Amino acid sequence: MAKTAYMTDDIFLSHDTGWGHPECAERIKAINSAIEKAPYYKKLTLLQPFIPDLEIIETIHSKNYILRVKREINSGTPHLDSMDTAVCIKSYEVALRAVGGSIALCDEIMNGDAIHGFGTLRPPGHHAEYDYAAGFCIFNNIAIAAKYLQNKYSIKKIAIIDWDVHHGNGTQHSFEKDDTVLYISLHQFPHYPGTGSKLETGKSKGKGFTLNFPMAAGSGDREYLDIFNMEIIPALISFKPEVILISAGFDAHKSDPLSSIKLSTETYGTFTKMLIDVADTFSEGRIIGLLEGGYNLNILGECVNEVISAFVNH
């Protein structure tokens, strides 16, 4: 059995987005409830988040943006940059710790103490841009993790697979000129945030290292697995990543209230097993998943369980 690290903490419950907001603390409770009941739970290496050095966040976000987030949240503002990104007085600390938890997973995997890792954290990150918050996201956890792996561990090739139902505009923009990060996104299109057309393939020396697969409303397991088999897996094999990161959103599930994609719970396990096969060949098995979206509390824990079960039972 592969050793799997799991990072979460009650601090992530403190980011209060207000009544009726889909990105709520109950998401963390639902996932952790499912994972703690799983037969593998005692075998997981449990990690805790920490507050990272701001220089780590500055690899993706401007210093002025980080200071503005702190200042506005401390002033009591209910939102950052749009009504989507609801915040409370604790949100700055929680967002910092979401980054720190992501970094803790990177260290655990790169030090060889685990092969796979998953972070049940919030706020999510893949919409956050260089200098503004967007779509429930404050800091771009997965983009910062990728930069950290490059800077601290001299990783030359990182693949980011984003299967959240919304396109990860912030992550794409972070690496669109970079040929050392292969960013792959499957997402409902047209849909929020409006980016992610097939024509967006990167810029400058990063041309060809952004792969977008816009999926029509109503697409389900078959359509997604066709893309994985015919497009994504061959692209990964060609790229030969040293580490695979997953922007693990579960809002493409057929029961999710924020999308019209029809994935089954089990398909998330299938996706993960396919990526494990690639990681075993090229990446010394190293895969890290970070929670993005997923808003049906009744199935969210089951979906994350699919991913972690694939990790643990490999």
The catalytic residue positions are 127
For residue 214, cis peptide bond before it (omega within 30 degrees of 0): no
Q: Which residues contact 90 (CB under 8 A, 6 or more apart)?
A: 14, 15, 16
Helical axes 63-74 vs 91-110, angle rounded to 10°: 140
Report the C-alpha gap between 133 and 125 in whole angstroms: 9
In this structure, is the dihedral angle defined by the CA atoms of residues 179, 182, 186 and 192, taken in order, positive or negative?
Answer: negative
Rounded Cα distance between 245 and 46, Å, is: 19
Q: Which residues, listed in sequence order, are joined to residue 266 by a DSSP beta bridge?
A: none
Residues 6+ apart with CB under 8 A from 17: 23, 24, 86, 87, 88, 136
243 near 155, Cβ under 8 Å?
yes
Cα–Cα nearest to 97, from 20, 157, 9: 9
